[in-house]
Amino acid sequence: MTYELSPEHEAFRRSVREFAEAEIAPHAAQWDRDHHFPVDVVQQMGDLGLFGLTAPEEFGGAGEDGDFTSLCVAIEELGRVDQSMGITLQAGVGLGINPILTYGTRAQQETWLPDLVAGRTLAGFGLTEPGAGSDAGATRTRAELDGGEWVVNGAKQFITNSGSSITSLVNITARTGTRDDGRPEISTLMIPSGTPGFVAEKAYDKLGWHASDTHPLAFSDCRVPEENLLGERGRGYAQFLATLDDGRVAISALSVGCLQACLDMCVTYAGERQTFGGPIGRKQGVAFQIADIAVMLEASRLLTYRAAAMKDAGAPYRQFKQAASIAKVYATESAVTATRIATQVFGGYGFMEEYPVARFYRDAKVLEVGEGTSEVQRMLIARGLGLPVE
């Protein structure tokens, strides 16, 4: 069985690649240096329909012409030239649009989705806290009902697309009570930007992804209407788990873009760089390392698009969940390895910021962390095998 993309997907890939190479690649290094979030280009991505690939036509999306595989193709192609723009799309759709599309009421969807799908606005997903990341059950942010309003107090951290000039809302998890078994009741709430008591604090000074928008969030007696509950009360934990499963495949696609960039850069450089009377690509020590990148790329791409195909086909949840974790742990760790190899192939030039390889090297590490760390993926894979791992 193969997981080759359809002719339609390949045609779509070409269109996204043309856009990325024309509108993003020439500016990516400068955006990285300036820590600049290019709102105009993000909205051009919206004009191209990239934020609507999983949304129905009634909200301005691609409808039957789009699917999850198409989203992965777009993320891969953007990530091939700039990981920051790749994660902006991934988070904008997977963490911003899809929770509303999946769990929102009709009124919530009609209010928020048209602008989000068009790329005119962005939404974030506030899960991680200073003491609660992978251990989401340790969430400390609280929301209490008072006179028909939720009163929210707490903090979130590392939240993508949460404080840009076009961010319209952030979906957050919060403790809304205690379950019968004594565990916290976790629900999801929609917090519009500009709500009194909600502050997107100063953007992080990150190791990589300099052109993406990432902030810590603070909530102090922040009040939103009771109807801003997203999905069923007490189901926030299950909702975010399903959201992260999709996100893991999308992060795998971003990793595939990184791997492709490393392979392209290394093949070109190894064919041009001359030492000892010939190109360094004829030296086995260099050629074999580049061959390793090609192997990791092919395996990562197959694992990623296999999982995407399962999502589109409506595969049983447990099978998809296992495939998503396998793709995520392999593709992300391969991307980190590939950037290290690429930096080595480039030698001293690889250590210079004027070469894209340095930017990819910095950007890659977080791939092993976001949407569930490599350790969490291995735990989930082991559980899927029936092992009683804690």
Catalytic machinery residues: 371
- For 83, half-sphere exposure in the C-beta direction (CA atoms, 13 angstrom radius) is 32
Please check whether residue 328 is in contact with residue 249, taking contact to mean a CB–CB distance below 8 angstroms. Answer: yes
Query: Please, what sign has the CA dihedral across residues 318, 76, 347, 29?
Result: negative
DSSP assigned state of 355: S
**DSSP H/E element including 178:** strand 167-178
Which residue pairs, CB below 8 angstroms and at least 24 apart, start in 268-275? Answer: 269/345, 269/346, 270/345
In terms of Cα–Cα distance, which of 171, 158, 155 is closest to 224? 171
List all residues 6 or more positions away from 251 whose beta carbon is below 8 Å from its beta carbon. 90, 328, 331, 332, 367, 370, 371
CA distances from residue 224 to 23, 171, 248, 320 in whole angstroms, order as listed: 38, 12, 30, 35
3-class DSSP state of 201: coil
Burial (Cβ within 10 Å: 0-12, 13-18, ≥19) of residue 337? middle
- Counting every residue written for the chain, the total comes to 390
The secondary structure of 131-162 as a DSSP string is TBSS-GGG---EEEEETTEEEEEEEEEEEETS
What values do phi and psi take at 263, rounded to 5? Answer: -65, -45
Provide the b/e sequence for 345-358 (b: ≥16 CB within 10 Å). Answer: bbeeebeeeebbbb
In terms of Cα–Cα distance, which of 87, 69, 9, 58 is closest to 364? 87
DSSP assigned state of 333: H
The C-alpha atoms of residue 15 and residue 23 are separated, in whole angstroms, by 12
Cα 205 vs. chain centroid, distance in angstroms? 19
